Structure 1
Amino acid sequence: MNAFTKRLLNYFLIGIFAVIPIVIILKIIIFIKGMVSDLFSVVYGYADSYLYTMLFFTVSFFILVSIGRTIVEKGKPWIITIFDHIIDRIPFLNTIYRVLKKVIAMFSSRDQEIAKDIVYVEYPKDGVWMAAYVTNRFEDKYVLFIPTSPNPTSGFTVIVDKEKVVKSAMNIEEVTSLIVSVGVDFNKVAEVKKLP
């Protein structure tokens, strides 16, 4: 392969890697737009009026703002408490609903009871260090979620002794950025030097 072809392929790869984040963001925007369009079609198909459809979306927006404000200022509103009570009585759905709430609460800043520490753990073998989310604690044991790169939503859940982990100063955003960037966006060099 001559130098010109190598340079051409190199520029091509650099161009691909430069465009990938834009494509991912566009895919997310298109997905959300599709969901909103589908909802709009359902509401418009039922009401058969743009006025009623826009009224529905406006009222929905203000209801969600009100629920968010109530949660921040007073805690869970009664409507969500009633819904929780109903879902708790439905087998299978209650398990999925409970787990989803815990996962969302772990990543939100308002629930301080859920552990949100970031640690390093030797996984899958000694001498190989991975960043992990602490999702729960039981006395001297930690339940960890070890995400895989570049998709932080897939990974492994492990239980380890607390002596086997090394605390990190990273927050959830920083560790997620580390995982998604496959290590490119990582500025905790001092922490890495301290790992045994």
Structure 2
Amino acid sequence: MRRYFVTGLLVWLPIVVTFAVLAWIVGTLDALIDWLPERWRPETLLGYRIPGLGVVAAVSLVFATGIVAANVLGQRLIELWEALIRRIPIVKSLYSSVKQVSETLFSEGGQAFRTAVLVEYPRRGAWTVAFVTGEPPAAVVGGTGVAEPMIAVYVPTTPNPTSGFLLLVPESEIIPLELGIDEALKYVISLGTITPTAMPPSIHSPDAGT
């Protein structure tokens, strides 16, 4: 009976969690419709609420913003908006940080989170999966006293990869993984229970990390 119960649980748990997350996302975006004047809401015009309309509205808003921001007039409006934001003491710091991170992650030429690697952390002989985020500035690297190039990597926590640690690691101590970002994240989130399709044999080499 225990075997049957566990088998059934493994079938239903991913389904329930997936639909619960989707329902939360749709419900959150549908709440955007409540910002409209009451006379423009679907329940007023049609007499009933349309599930998922908030998702369509959010995607349309993002797409329309992209179209406007791609032309000269839109760029000028964004510059005026950012100039206004920079005048607000606390908001300007938060906005600038989020903007820089967004541009780094989503820019076509950016290399952040494009490469999964292995680094020795939190001690020698213990390895963890990390993601390359870029090259640290010279002002930061100079304080380490390390002569060779340094690489900034993000070490996610398990099973929640949205929190973690930023490490500056010598380039020679980083082992690139023959894994896609999706596979590496699955390995981290699953607590190591999902085996990636490829792992470099060098992690078992006595010269690894030297």
Pairwise same-fold verdict (TM > 0.5): yes
| Alignment-derived partner of residue 151 in structure 2 | 142
Q: Judge conservation of contact 1:107–1:172 (CA < 8 Å) in 2.
A: no
Q: Which runs of 5+ in 1 are unaligned?
A: 1-7
- The secondary structure found in structure 2 opposite 1:143 is strand
TM-superposed deviation, 1:112: 2.0
Deviations 1:21-42, CA, capped at 9 Å, x for gaps: 2233222212122213322223
| Alignment-derived partner of residue 50 in structure 1 | 45
| Alignment-derived partner of residue 81 in structure 1 | 79
Letter in 1 for 2:164: G
| Alignment-derived partner of residue 90 in structure 1 | 88
Count the aligned residue pairs: 184
TM-superposed deviation, 1:18: 3.2
| Alignment-derived partner of residue 25 in structure 1 | 18
- The secondary structure found in structure 1 opposite 2:134 is strand
Change (3 A) 1:42 1:180: same
- The secondary structure found in structure 2 opposite 1:92 is helix
Change (3 A) 1:27 1:95: farther
Are residue 167 (structure 1) and residue 176 (structure 2) matched?
A: yes
Change (3 A) 1:134 1:22: same
Q: What is the aligned-residue identity percentage?
A: 24
Q: Which runs of 5+ in 2 are unaligned?
A: 139-148
Query: Which structure's residues are more often helix, by fraction?
Result: 1
TM-superposed deviation, 1:172: 2.4
| Alignment-derived partner of residue 121 in structure 2 | 123
Distance in 1 between residues matched to 2:113 and 2:26, nearest whole Å:
34
- The secondary structure found in structure 2 opposite 1:145 is strand
| Alignment-derived partner of residue 131 in structure 2 | 133
Distance in 1 between residues matched to 2:12 and 2:159, nearest whole Å:
16
Q: Judge conservation of contact 2:113–2:181 (CA < 8 Å) in 1.
A: no
Change (3 A) 1:161 1:83: same
| Alignment-derived partner of residue 32 in structure 2 | 39
RMSD across aligned C-alpha pairs, in angstroms?
3.4
Letter in 1 for 2:2: L
TM-superposed deviation, 1:180: 2.3
Deviations 1:117-146, CA, capped at 9 Å, x for gaps: 321101122222111112231362222211
Q: Judge conservation of contact 2:135–2:150 (CA < 8 Å) in 1.
A: yes
Q: Judge conservation of contact 2:39–2:45 (CA < 8 Å) in 1.
A: no
Letter in 2 for 1:19: W
Q: TM-score, normalised by structure 2?
A: 0.69
Aligned with 1:11 (options 4, 13, 22)? 4
